[in-house]
């Protein structure tokens, strides 16, 4: 599939492109590597769709992402576009337990998003950080107090619940 032509096609609604792209990834019509290569130069709106397709794909199959792709997604956590940030956080949350060596970088890039103005960005960061806590890695020693501090400052109960559930799982034996 020619991704440039796909995104230029005005006959397909932007909202439908994510599902079509995710299905193309699932069936092999688009390789993860070609999506990664395309995403590296995509503008933010297209990049958000590409990462959302990765999120759909990794939700049921975390192994569908390469280490190189995860590095790219982790770097996108600091993107100026909120959609790119939240989609990236969801991908990280879906796959991070399979990549324990990436937890430190992911955590460092996720923590700034806990103070973002956008609720969806904060919710997605909470989801990913919660999955990191649940992985019960050595980073939890410093991450738990940081998350408790974030939780105390968070205004939305829905986000606080994500942190509380993750903390409970992290502390369970």
pLDDT tens digits along 35-67: 999 999 999 999 999 999 999 999 989 988 999
User: Is the pLDDT confidence value at 30 over 90?
Assistant: yes
Place of tokens 């994510």: 18
pLDDT per position as a tens digit, 136-164 = 888 888 999 999 999 999 999 999 999 99
| Alpha-carbon gap, residue 120 to 128, rounded angstroms | 12
Place of tokens 């968070």: 154
Return the CATH fold of 3-171.
1.25.10
In sequence order, which residues have a C-beta less than 8 Å from that of residue 50 and are 6 or more positions away? Answer: 21, 35, 38, 39, 42
Q: How many residues does the chain have?
A: 173
Contact call for residues 113 and 81 (beta carbons, < 8 A)? no
The per-residue pLDDT for 172 is: 82
The per-residue pLDDT for 124 is: 98
Domain edges within the chain:
3-171
């Amino acid at each position: 599939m020619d991704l440039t032509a796909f995104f230029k096609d005005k006959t397909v609604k932007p909202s439908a492109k994510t599902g079509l792209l995710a299905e193309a990834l699932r069936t092999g019509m688009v390789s993860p590597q070609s999506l990664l290569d395309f995403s590296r130069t995509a503008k933010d709106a297209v990049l958000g769709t590409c990462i959302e397709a990765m999120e759909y794909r990794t939700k049921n199959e975390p192994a569908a992402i390469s280490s190189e792709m995860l590095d790219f997604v982790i770097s996108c956590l600091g993107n100026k576009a909120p959609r790119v940030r939240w989609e990236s956080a969801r991908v990280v949350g879906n796959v991070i337990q399979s990549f324990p060596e990436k937890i430190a970088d992911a955590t460092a890039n996720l923590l700034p998003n806990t103070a973002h103005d956008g609720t969806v960005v904060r919710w997605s960061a909470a989801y990913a950080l919660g999955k990191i806590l649940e992985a019960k890695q050595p980073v939890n020693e410093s991450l738990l107090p940081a998350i408790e501090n974030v939780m105390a400052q968070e205004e939305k109960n829905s986000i606080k619940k994500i942190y509380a559930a993750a903390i409970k799982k992290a502390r369970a034996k």
